[in-house]
Structure 1
Amino acid sequence: MNVFTVEPANQQRVVDLIVRATDEFVSKAPGFISSTLHRSFDGTKVAMYAQWESAEHYEAMGRDPGPLPLFGEVLTLAKFEPGMYEIVRTFPPATE
């Protein structure tokens, strides 16, 4: 899960850059499962929840030179707070 802190005026640009990087490069990387992009209502955060087959697959994607210019621009607009987590539990909707 990666969180980007942005000025509200830059939120949409950061969203656009991450969408482009994901569409063009990240989603095609070996080991990629899925991702979901979020933006905060107050305009100050963009978060990407991504699932990978392994941490090694994620780290290999990070070394791919293809998306680096897009991610580089994101880093000029946002503070990046990366995090790697393991799934503890998934909660389905409650049934009666």
Structure 2
Amino acid sequence: MSETVIRADDGTFAMINVFEVEPEKQKELAEVLSEGAEKFIRHRPGCLSVNILTSLDGRRLVYYAQWRTKADIKATMADPDVQFYRDKAALLGKPDPHAFTVFAVHHPED
């Protein structure tokens, strides 16, 4: 089973896009992004995982994708199929995308 693993200093990159969305459009936005991830993004070189989180108030959606390199992110964003889903999502909510690295991870003691 594949799963998302978050580690500091592992050399990976995260593309995090926080969308502001009207509550009545949140589910549709999640479906559009999930479809794009399933059809195209998860098959792109360097993609490690794609996670879509919806806020309980319905006003935000977080798209969290992990990548091996910044170049993989850039190449993916240049793909016309990916741009189609990016543009479709932007019609449903206001995106605010940024690339990140993990600074620290904290867990409770076992």
Q: TM-score of the superposition, structure 2-length normalised?
A: 0.81
Per-residue CA deviation, residues 55-86 of structure 1 (Å, 9 max, x unaligned), is 11001100011122222111111111011111
The residue aligned with 2:85 is 70
What code does the residue aligned with 1:33 have?
Answer: L
Per-residue CA deviation, residues 31-73 of structure 1 (Å, 9 max, x unaligned), is 1011211000000001011110011100110001112222211
The residue aligned with 1:14 is 29
- For structure 1, the residue ranges without an aligned partner over 5 or more in a row are none
- Identical-residue share of aligned pairs (%): 26
Q: How many correspondences in the alignment?
A: 95
Q: TM-score of the superposition, structure 1-length normalised?
A: 0.92
- For structure 2, the residue ranges without an aligned partner over 5 or more in a row are 1-15
Taking the TM superposition and a 5 Å limit, the aligned residue runs for 1:52-91 are 52-91=67-106
The residue aligned with 2:51 is 36
RMSD, matched Cα? 1.1
CA distance in 2, matches of 1:56, 1:21: 20
Runs of 4 or more, structure 1, over 4 Å off, are none
